[in-house]
Amino acid sequence: MNHLNKGPSIAPPPMTPGVTIKEMVESHFTAYNAARLREGAMLWSNLMAREDVTVGLTVTGALTPAGLGASCLTPLVRRGFVDFIISTGANLYHDAHFALGLDLHQSSPYADDCRLREEGLVRIYDIVMDYRVLLKTDAFFRKVLEAPEFNRTMGSAEFHHHIGRYLGERQRILGLGDVSLLSACQEMDVPVYTSSPGDSSIGMNAAAMKLKGIGPDWDVNRDVNETAALILNAKRQGGKTGVVILGGGSPKNFMLQTEPHLQEVLGIDEKGHDYFLQVTDARPDTGGLSGATPSEAVSWGKVDPGALPHTVVCYTDSTIALPMMAAYLIETRGERTPKRLYSQRDQALDLLKREAGSAVRE
């Protein structure tokens, strides 16, 4: 008799030296959130890593200060597994420290913060950095923003593309290796957006320069239309779309609202994203977007109702899940052809304008 709810027997082999990531994930992650991590890793590897899937990644929480930009996100970008990114500005600001050769250090979450303040150190839970790291990074951004290419209106993807070029040159001159996520995204033509450009030290420095009449005016409307256009373009080319959400917050909504923008606001015929993978510690019962389930997202048109079997939520820390999933993806899939969406943004926007113009609205 076949039982719908009965899967393979739980019979993991004994742990031995030399166990690979693939063996650990597939054989030892048998239940609870370990099993969800297994399902998420396999969803990404078996389905979302296919050539016809456009993958959008969101980044929240202080992941780049913990080194996950260089260790996990940059390799995934380099290997073609991430097609565009929506991040908090803070993660992109802290990414710059690494390219500028500014050190962050392991510490303790129980450090005396008054003592840290006296010693000129700032803390992100169990990470500390010298206050001068912030000042030097601020000085870098203010100097770069004086360049002519920044003195106009632009979307955040174009802004980060230019910043990535400068960071890439700094890490090259300093001989630091491939440490900057923004630099890798610039080289791989991976668009990087932020849903609230003013909400970070990058935004604060840009605001300071604006007092002098220098720097960009961010076109947030372009970001809303451009991200939706990338999704529409992928679908109209016969492909699918998948989202990988690390944490939640504003980047999660900015990624998922691409579908309601197409369907609800622009009146374009669409069904929702095809694959959904989230790593979060947020509960769904508080009503916050960070904890909202893919099933709830179906009611908004964010996720295709038929795609619910291809959705996974893993309730754990992204600093645990991301290295495991990245290692599994690289071991099982190796690499994928980069889509280089940055250079396709205008083409995608033209498509969006045509379809929005011909949409029949109720």
Give the model confidence (pLDDT) of 29-59 as tens digits. 999 999 999 999 999 999 999 999 999 999 9
3-state secondary structure of 235: helix
Q: Which of 98, 106, 137 is nearest to 123 (CA)?
A: 106
Structure confidence at residue 80 as a pLDDT band (50, 70, 90): very high
Residues assigned a catalytic role: 302
Domain at 25-89+154-165+179-198+217-355: CATH architecture: 3-Layer(aba) Sandwich (3.40)
Residue-wise pLDDT for 129-180, tens only, equals: 999 999 999 999 999 999 999 999 999 999 999 999 999 999 999 999 999 9
Residue 330 C-alpha from the chain's centroid? 17
Q: Which of 323, 351, 342 is nearest to 37 (CA)?
A: 323
Place of tokens 């890490």: 171
Question: Tokens in use for 61?
Answer: 């929480």
DSSP state of 15: P
CA distance 130 to 116: 9
3-state secondary structure of 316: coil
For residue 241, what are the CA distances in angstroms to 231, 301, 304?
Answer: 7, 14, 10
pTM value is 0.95
Cβ burial of 112 (10 Å; 0-12, 13-18, 19+) is exposed
Q: What is the 3-state secondary structure (H, E, C) of 153-197?
A: EECHHHHHHHHHHHHHHHHHHCCCCCCCHHHHHHHCCCCEEECCC
